[in-house]
Amino acid sequence: MSSSRIFSLVLFLSLLLTFLLGCTPRPQTWPPPAETTPAASWHIDTARFQSSAHGNIACETCHPDISTADGHPETENLLLAATEMYDYSRCATCHPEEYAAYERGVHAEARANPAAVRIDAAPPTCGDCHTAHYATPESRAELLVSVNETCRRCHPEEAESYEHNYHGKAALLGYEQTATCTDCHGAHEVHALYDADEALAACSRCHPQANEQMASFTIHAQETLNVAPDDPNADNYVLFFWVKLFFTVLVVSVLAFFYTHTGLWFLRSLHERLKGGHHDH
């Protein structure tokens, strides 16, 4: 077999292998949460609670209206999530700074004006992000996973775009110095970062040399034509859609031509070999 035929065969097999490997399912980015008692359940796993950060606090400290003599609460309330029934302003008793910061953030602002929120569920309060009965200290690596999963419940598109960004990919690879949601948006005093000055301040915490151009980078990019008219990034999302479509068509067309050309070249070489020909290129 001539060198040109060997080269074409190796090239074709290499491209085929690359294509097959590229089509294999992508492993799950973030591990699913453990099968445990839901945080919003009325049932309390006492063993887990006693080993949590609040395990040494008496129930009456957070639930002053509880009474063992009165039995269970109203049965119709058992159909609701426990987090919807609790008054989380009581958290300010032990966590005054955190609760004051929460009230300055966009979550509290959204609860005060729910009509302005573009989500189906009610804006979150303490119990939506924290498991009061089962909270335990977390390592930085565990925090990178848990924060992303927590924010995903209300912001699935942003969580997905985070995973495709450098920060999310670095977290997936176990690099603990990368940023997660709360590093940029804040943990209690949460900001949407639509304001240019706020975005620059967030970037500057890890990138002291950051400038306005860097802060204007669209982190949670979406490629869609279905955008909310009041979204400040609406024009960018539409542009991203058309750019992605153009390059997708371009790449697929080039690869289709290349694979077809290589395949035909290989078949011709095979045909020449079988019939005993010596036509080389």
Along the 281 residues of the chain, how does pLDDT read in single tens digits? 555 566 566 666 666 666 555 544 444 444 444 444 455 567 788 888 889 989 998 888 888 877 655 656 677 777 777 777 888 999 999 999 999 999 999 999 888 887 766 666 678 889 888 888 888 888 888 888 889 889 998 888 889 889 888 898 898 888 888 999 999 999 899 998 888 899 999 999 999 999 988 888 888 888 888 877 777 778 888 888 899 999 999 999 999 999 999 889 888 888 888 887 555 55
pLDDT value of position 31: 42
Q: What is the pLDDT of residue 245?
A: 93
**pLDDT of the residue at 24:** 42
C-alpha 146/C-alpha 168 separation (Å) is 13
Question: Angle, nearest 10°, between helix axes 234-274 and 3-22?
Answer: 140
pLDDT for 232 equals: 76
Per-residue confidence (pLDDT) for residue 188, from 0 to 100? 93
Nearest to 10 by CA among 24, 281, 18: 18
Task: Supply the pTM of this predicted model.
Answer: 0.68
